[in-house]
Amino acid sequence: MAENKDKKDKLEEEIEKEANEELEEVLEEAEQTPEQQQIAKLEEQLAETENRLLRLQADFENVKKRHIADREATIKYRAQSLAEDLLPALDSFEKALATESELEEVKAILTGMEMVYKQLQSALEKEGIEPIAALGEQFDPNFHQAVMQDSDADKASNEITAELQKGYKIKDRVLRPSMVKVNQ
């Protein structure tokens, strides 16, 4: 009960204080001449306008910084879309180059394909696109996608024992994770 009375007393004090402040403001306005009232009103409008201006400047600076960051990201990752489209072609080149043949005609074609493959890799490297290391590395879910498990006593736990599909990254962003087989 004493708590409720204290709360009630505090609430009454706050209400009385607010009422007194409002009364003082009304009395001050009544004592002012019309010119002083107009000056006070204009000063209040000026303060509001300055506050709005400061907020608009801050908003403009934030938009400008975001635009610069977006433009830098666009420049940094401009080759991402093209690289994503070329990765299946690189995979096909790798599969074709893995074939072996004794026929000279096939060897000549494979040599030409290898040259084209190296040119594609070189062009991608110039844009900051590089393969993700996998075989023999520790499994990292940020760069690798485990699709199979292996149980080899000679290998460490979570070590990648086979790379089923190469992964690639562009600068610090993963384009495609490596599909790997991981030791238990």
The 10s digit of each residue's pLDDT in 25-50 is: 776 766 767 788 788 889 999 999 99
Asked if 132 contacts 177 with a C-beta cutoff of 8 angstroms, the reply is yes
pLDDT greater than 90 at residue 98: no
- Region 76-92: mean pLDDT is 88
Tokens coding 110 = 């494979």
Residue 101: predicted pLDDT = 82
67 and 126 within one domain? no
128 and 47 within one domain? no
90 and 57 within one domain? no
pLDDT greater than 70 at residue 182: yes
Q: Is 106 part of a structural domain of the chain? A: yes
Q: How many domains does the chain have?
A: 2
**Last residue in a domain, options 57, 76, 95:** 76
176 and 91 within one domain? yes
**Last residue in a domain, options 50, 76, 102:** 76
- For residue 127, what are the domain limits? 80-183
Q: Is 7 part of a structural domain of the chain? A: no
Q: Which residues contact 29 (CB under 8 A, 6 or more apart)?
A: 37, 40
For residues 168 and 175, what is the distance between their CA atoms, to the nearest angstrom? 5
Q: Is 139 part of a structural domain of the chain? A: yes
Q: Is 29 part of a structural domain of the chain? A: no
**Last residue in a domain, options 76, 109, 131:** 76
- Region 5-13: mean pLDDT is 81
Residue 32: predicted pLDDT = 67
Residue 1: predicted pLDDT = 63
Is residue 143 exposed (0-12), middle (13-18) or buried (19+ Cβ within 10 Å)?
middle
159 and 84 within one domain? yes
Q: Is 161 part of a structural domain of the chain? A: yes
For 103-155, the pLDDT digits (tens) are: 889 889 999 999 999 999 999 999 889 999 998 889 999 999 999 998 887 88
52 and 88 within one domain? no
- What does 109-167 look like in DSSP terms, one character per residue? HHHHHHHHHHHHHHHHHHTTEEEPP-TTSBP-TTTEEEEEEE--TTS-TTBEEEEEE--
For 48-83, the pLDDT digits (tens) are: 999 999 999 999 999 999 999 999 888 888 888 888
Tell me what percent of the residues of the chain surpass a pLDDT of 90: 42
172 and 93 within one domain? yes
Residue 153: predicted pLDDT = 79
